[in-house]
């Protein structure tokens, strides 16, 4: 059993770390303050091949794997969670469903631009009354004259309204199945909806607590018509397919959260060595040093959890429970470390230009998005037979 990265993974991690420190970090505060999407950074990440890490070269990818994506996410999230979630959502939620479930024609049509960062895609699952509960899905899609006609609304959709957003994979009710007890169960399918389709509209962007430089919109779909061949995967399997995508995505989110937790450690170590009080660096005070030591323990534990889940996934072994544990542990580590880092920084931790202040605002969503903490606990409890 060896938890050390091999040379190829380590080189990737080091390269992305350098990019994050030299390119992303210097401009993060400005993009966050202006609530502006970082098009230039996204373009540079595309040139580095980050959007194509887990995809084969034949589709414009780098021929790597999902763990490589996770390593990149961890390093980026140390300095900017908005940029990290743009990459995570663009790959694991936008492009990955097409790679996993698309036809060869769909892959050839969409993946080359998505895998090179020239275009982004969204994941249209959540609705006002649906997210964890698929039964609440109200968006519908019906066949008419060789087309799918989609009507409905989605909420909290990342990467859905940028200038380079090309499509959103939309879940919709396409029929019902009669259950033995007489109840009707909704059949949910996934439809690829290009964003230039008449009737598709990204509404005004949300004014969020954090992740200010990421793109998040509610969507409306009114009489949206796309060809029948825009069905993604098997009809009626849309929600089941998305659940499998979410299992993978939880590993990626855990990696992102681990990066946020580690970023708080690094900032706190730096500040504790520079800030003096009563004639000595505050890091010499046991109250501060022990607090930072606990922060490091959380980040280390979170990293081991997502490494384990990723290794199981790549080996073709069951990983659903391990992904839930990783997401649970890492999300809480990010939030706890952000709180403690803010305490280490004192008043400076309450200034928005401070990186730890941004982590404090950003990290809460890591306990909510892509499955709440309570959903992760539910999944683990089910595995235990409870």
Q: Are 257 and 334 in contact (CB under 8 A)?
A: yes
Domain end among 199, 221, 237: 237
Rounded CA-CA distance 157/126 in Å is: 7
Q: Indicate whether 292 belongs to any domain.
A: yes
- What's the whole-number mean pLDDT along residues 334-349? 97
Same domain, 222 and 306: no
Q: Indicate whether 115 belongs to any domain.
A: yes
Q: Indicate whether 161 belongs to any domain.
A: yes
Judged by average pLDDT, the poorest of 168-182, 212-226, 278-292 is 168-182
Same domain, 259 and 371: yes
- The 10s digit of each residue's pLDDT in 188-205 is 999 999 999 999 999 999
Q: What total of structural domains would you count in the chain?
A: 3
Domain end among 212, 237, 262: 237
Rounded CA-CA distance 336/44 in Å is: 32
Rounded CA-CA distance 377/53 in Å is: 30
Confidence of residue 256 (pLDDT cuts 50, 70, 90): very high
The catalytic residues are 370
Look up the CATH number of the domain holding residue 68.
1.10.540.10
Q: Is 296 exposed, middle or buried (0-12, 13-18, 19+ CB in 10 A)?
A: middle
User: Which residues lie below 8 Å from residue 215, measured CB to CB, with a gap of 6+?
Assistant: 37, 86, 158, 159, 160, 161, 162, 165, 205
- DSSP for 247-298, please give it: HHHHHHHHHHHHHHHHHHHHHHHHHHHH-EETTEEGGGSHHHHHHHHHHHHH
Q: Are 124 and 157 in contact (CB under 8 A)?
A: yes
Look up the CATH number of the domain holding residue 144.
2.40.110.10
Same domain, 189 and 126: yes
Q: Are 121 and 110 in contact (CB under 8 A)?
A: yes
Same domain, 107 and 158: no
pLDDT on residue 134: 67
Is the Cα dihedral 158, 160, 166, 167 positive or negative? Answer: positive
pLDDT on residue 136: 85
Rounded CA-CA distance 284/142 in Å is: 66
Query: 3-class SS at 192?
Result: strand
Same domain, 260 and 327: yes
What's the whole-model pTM score? 0.96
Same domain, 297 and 366: yes
Does 3 score more than 90 pLDDT? Answer: no
Domain end among 190, 208, 237: 237
Q: Indicate whether 92 belongs to any domain.
A: yes
Rounded CA-CA distance 374/275 in Å is: 38
Q: Which domain holds residue 205?
A: 121-237
Same domain, 217 and 227: yes
Rounded CA-CA distance 305/102 in Å is: 30
- At 69, list the tokens: 């994506």
Q: Indicate whether 160 belongs to any domain.
A: yes
Rounded CA-CA distance 338/210 in Å is: 13
Q: Please list the residues that pair with 192 across neighbouring strands.
A: 169
Q: Indicate whether 2 belongs to any domain.
A: no
Rounded CA-CA distance 70/302 in Å is: 13
- What's the whole-number mean pLDDT along residues 103-130? 95
Q: Indicate whether 316 belongs to any domain.
A: yes
Q: Indicate whether 276 belongs to any domain.
A: yes
- DSSP H or E run through 156: strand 147-158
Give the N- to C-terminal CA distance of the chain in Å, as an integer.
31
Confidence of residue 376 (pLDDT cuts 50, 70, 90): very high
């Amino acid at each position: 059993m060896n938890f050390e990265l091999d040379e190829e993974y380590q080189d990737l991690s080091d390269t992305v770390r350098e990019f994050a420190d030299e390119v992303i970090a210097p401009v993060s505060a400005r993009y966050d303050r202006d609530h502006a999407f970082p098009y230039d950074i996204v373009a540079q990440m595309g040139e580095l091949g980050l959007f194509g890490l887990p995809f084969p070269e034949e589709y414009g990818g780098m021929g790597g794997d999902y763990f490589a994506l996770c390593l990149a996410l961890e390093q980026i999230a140390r300095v900017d969670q908005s940029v990290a979630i743009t990459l995570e959502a663009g790959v694991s939620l936008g492009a990955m469903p097409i790679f996993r479930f698309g036809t060869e024609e769909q892959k050839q049509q969409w993946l080359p631009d998505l895998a090179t960062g020239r275009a982004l895609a969204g994941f249209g699952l959540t609705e006002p009354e649906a997210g964890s509960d698929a039964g609440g899905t109200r968006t519908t899609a019906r066949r008419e004259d060789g087309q799918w006609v989609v009507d409905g609304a989605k909420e909290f959709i990342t990467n859905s309204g940028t200038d380079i957003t090309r499509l959103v994979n939309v879940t919709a009710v396409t029929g019902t199945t009669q259950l033995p007890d007489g109840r009707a169960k909704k059949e949910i399918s996934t439809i690829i909806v290009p964003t230039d389709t008449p009737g598709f509209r990204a509404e005004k962007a949300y004014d969020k607590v954090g992740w200010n430089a990421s793109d998040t919109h509610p969507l409306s779909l009114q009489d949206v018509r796309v060809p029948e061949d825009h069905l993604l995967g098997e009809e009626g399997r849309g929600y089941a397919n998305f659940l499998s995508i979410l299992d993978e995505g939880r590993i990626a989110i855990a990696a992102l959260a681990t990066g946020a937790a580690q970023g708080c450690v690094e900032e706190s170590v730096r500040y504790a060595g520079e800030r003096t009080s009563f004639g000595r660096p505050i890091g010499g005070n046991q109250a501060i040093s022990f607090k930072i030591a606990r922060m490091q323990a959380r980040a280390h534990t979170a990293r081991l959890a997502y490494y384990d889940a990723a290794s199981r996934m790549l080996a073709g072994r069951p990983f659903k429970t391990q992904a839930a544990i990783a997401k649970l542990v890492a999300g809480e580590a990010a939030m706890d470390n952000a709180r403690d880092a803010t305490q280490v920084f004192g008043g400076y931790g309450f200034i928005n230009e401070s990186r730890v202040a941004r982590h404090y605002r950003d990290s809460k969503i890591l306990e909510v998005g892509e499955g709440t903490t309570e959903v992760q606990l539910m999944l683990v409890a089910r595995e235990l037979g409870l």
